[in-house]
C-alpha cells in the first residue's frame, strides 16, 4: 500500500513539475513577444515621425519653389471634404473635392510624396503640388471659369531627391 501511494505521489509530482515547467516556458515566451512587439511599435513610431518630418521638408521646398502666397489660400490634403466644408457651402466643397482634387489624386505617380493642396479662399483656384520619387517637383493648377474647372498649367522642375527613411 505504501509503495502504491508513494508511486502515485511521484507520478503527481512529476506531472505537476512538467505542467509548471511548460507554463513557465509559455509565460517567458509571452513576455518576450510583448517586449519584441513593443520594440516594433516604437520602431514604427520613430519611422512615422521621420516620415512626417520628411513630408514637411518637402512641402516647404514645394512652397518656396513655386512662390505660393499662402495668405490667399486654404491648405488641405487628401480626404479634404471636411476642411473644405468649413470654408465653402457643402455643394461647392464637394465640387472642388470631386471635380478637381480627386482626379489629381488618381494621377499621382507611385512613390510620390503626400501632395500639398491649396484652394483659393474665394473657391476659384486649386493648386496641387507633389514631389515625384525621382525628386521632381510638380505643380498642377485648375481655375474655375464659367462654372467649369479648367486645368490651366502644369509646372515641373528638378528638386532635391527624396532621402530614404531609415
Residues found in the chain: 166
pLDDT at residue 10, rounded to an integer? 55
* The dihedral formed by the CA atoms of 30, 33, 39 and 44, expressed in degrees to the nearest 10: -120
Q: What is the pLDDT along the chain (166 residues), one digit of tens a residue?
A: 666 666 665 566 655 555 445 445 554 554 454 444 445 455 567 777 888 888 888 888 888 888 888 889 988 877 777 888 888 888 888 888 888 888 988 888 888 888 888 999 999 999 999 989 888 999 999 999 998 999 988 899 998 887 777 7
The Cα–Cα gap between 157 and 67 comes to 13
pLDDT at residue 23, rounded to an integer? 45
pLDDT at residue 114, rounded to an integer? 84
Q: Check: CB of residue 75 under 8 Å from CB of residue 118.
A: yes
pLDDT at residue 93, rounded to an integer? 86
pLDDT at residue 19, rounded to an integer? 47
pTM beyond 0.85, yes or no: no
pLDDT at residue 61, rounded to an integer? 87
pLDDT at residue 166, rounded to an integer? 73
pLDDT at residue 30, rounded to an integer? 47
DSSP 62-87: HHHHHT--GGGEEEE-SS-HHHHHHH
pLDDT at residue 142, rounded to an integer? 94
Amino acid at each position: 500500500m505504501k509503495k502504491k501511494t508513494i508511486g502515485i505521489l511521484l507520478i503527481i509530482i512529476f506531472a505537476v513539475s512538467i505542467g509548471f515547467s511548460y507554463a513557465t516556458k509559455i509565460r517567458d515566451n509571452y513576455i518576450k513577444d510583448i517586449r519584441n512587439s513593443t520594440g516594433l511599435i516604437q520602431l514604427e513610431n520613430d519611422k512615422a515621425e521621420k516620415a512626417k518630418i520628411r513630408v514637411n521638408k518637402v512641402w516647404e521646398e514645394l512652397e518656396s519653389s513655386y512662390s505660393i502666397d499662402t495668405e490667399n489660400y486654404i491648405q488641405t490634403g487628401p480626404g479634404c471634404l471636411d476642411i473644405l466644408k468649413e470654408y465653402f457651402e457643402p455643394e461647392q466643397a464637394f465640387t472642388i473635392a470631386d471635380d478637381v482634387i480627386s482626379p489629381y489624386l488618381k494621377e499621382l505617380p507611385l512613390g510620390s510624396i503626400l501632395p500639398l493642396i491649396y484652394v483659393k479662399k474665394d473657391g476659384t483656384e486649386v493648386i496641387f503640388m507633389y514631389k515625384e520619387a525621382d525628386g521632381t517637383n510638380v505643380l498642377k493648377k485648375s481655375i474655375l471659369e464659367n462654372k467649369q474647372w479648367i486645368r490651366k498649367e502644369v509646372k515641373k522642375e528638378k528638386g532635391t531627391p527624396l532621402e530614404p527613411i531609415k
